[in-house]
């Protein structure tokens, strides 16, 4: 998990400017893949068929653009993370801007073509007045401890991960803390106590803000639903099989548990 702030190399700004003489271009195709050549960003877009280009601020003291184009194969951001943490961090913002603009060019309420706001990163409908900001989906993830053991579960939608932490999306009308308790109850049937917020992480797969917690086991027996969660059990630190990458807050929470036990 990246500990540094995106703002160490980035100054936020936004407009519908198209190009610049000396700039960084985060060029994505329809599959959210980033164009790189020799692990470097493109420094011009003359050879690309451009769907749209948006100025999103300064990256490493140069103008920075997110560009949507048509090309066959690029890099998934998970791949980018493994060889350039800085590119991944900035690419995570750029791909979310790319997704937002692709998805809201027409008003979801009345179908009218939207227009960019003069000031904010916002698309607005000139007909009904509906506004469309970039969408972020808050989600929780929690490391549940019982003495020197950590609760991990086998999810039905994880083909390449044996066991993972309990996680889930926040429902409308509930608090973050309520979401943690609900997800734990729904997925493994136990109650927890001493819930503690640890840290958060932008997770652009596709558009989450992950909020990391620790908690302690309180009561109840593990009971999985057999649908979303196939198995769940307690692990001592030397029984845990680590993820293949440290990209996620989940890995950070697991490493914290290992270091403290």
Structural domains in the chain, sorted by start: 6-103 (3.90.79.20), 137-259 (3.90.79.10)
Q: In which band, very low, low, confident or very high, does the pLDDT at 87 lie, cut at 50, 70 and 90?
A: very high
Compute the average pLDDT of residues 64-88.
96
pLDDT for res 21: 81
Q: What is the mean pLDDT of the chain?
A: 95
Compute the average pLDDT of residues 16-45.
92
Q: Is 93 helix (H, G, I), strand (E, B) or coil?
A: helix
- The CA angle 242-245-246, to the nearest 5 degrees, is 85
> Which position has the higher pLDDT, 73 or 225?
73
Q: Among 30-39, 161-170, 191-200, 247-256, name the one with the lowest average pLDDT.
A: 161-170
Give the model confidence (pLDDT) of 125-182 as tens digits. Answer: 999 999 999 999 999 999 999 999 999 999 888 776 689 999 999 999 999 999 999 9
Give me the helices (H) in 14-71, please: none
The sheet that has 23-28: what strands, in order across it? 10-15, 50-59, 62-69, 23-28
Gyration radius of the chain's alpha carbons:
21
Residue 62 bridge partners (DSSP): 59
Q: In which band, very low, low, confident or very high, does the pLDDT at 243 lie, cut at 50, 70 and 90?
A: confident
pLDDT for res 178: 98
Compute the average pLDDT of residues 245-259.
97
Residue 22: pLDDT above 90? no
Stated pTM of the model = 0.93
Q: Among 95-104, 123-132, 238-247, 251-260, name the one with the lowest average pLDDT.
A: 238-247
């Amino acid at each position: 998990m990246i500990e540094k702030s995106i703002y160490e190399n980035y100054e936020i700004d936004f407009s519908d400017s198209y190009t610049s003489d000396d700039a960084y271009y985060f060029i994505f195709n329809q599959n959210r893949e980033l164009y790189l050549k020799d692990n470097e960003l493109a420094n011009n877009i003359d050879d690309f068929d451009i769907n749209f280009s948006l100025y999103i601020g300064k990256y490493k003291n140069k103008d920075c653009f997110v560009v949507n184009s048509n090309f066959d194969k690029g890099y998934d951001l998970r791949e980018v993370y493994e060889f350039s943490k800085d590119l991944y961090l900035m690419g995570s913002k750029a791909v979310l801007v790319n997704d937002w603009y692709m998805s809201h060019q027409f008003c979801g309420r009345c179908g009218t073509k939207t227009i960019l706001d003069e000031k904010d990163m916002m698309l607005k409908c000139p007909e009904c007045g509906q506004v469309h900001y970039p969408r972020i989906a808050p989600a929780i993830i929690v490391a549940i401890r019982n003495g020197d053991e950590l609760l991990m579960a086998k999810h039905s939608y994880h083909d390449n991960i044996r066991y993972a932490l309990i996680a889930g999306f926040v429902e409308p009308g509930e608090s973050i803390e309520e979401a943690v308790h609900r997800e734990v109850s729904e997925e493994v049937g136990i109650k927890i106590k001493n819930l503690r917020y640890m840290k958060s992480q932008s997770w652009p797969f596709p558009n989450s803000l992950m909020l990391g917690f620790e908690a302690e086991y309180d009561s109840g027996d593990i009971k999985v639903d057999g649908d979303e969660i196939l198995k769940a059990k307690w692990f001592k630190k030397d029984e845990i099989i680590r993820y293949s990458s440290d990209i996620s807050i989940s890995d950070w929470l697991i490493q914290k548990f290992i270091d403290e036990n």
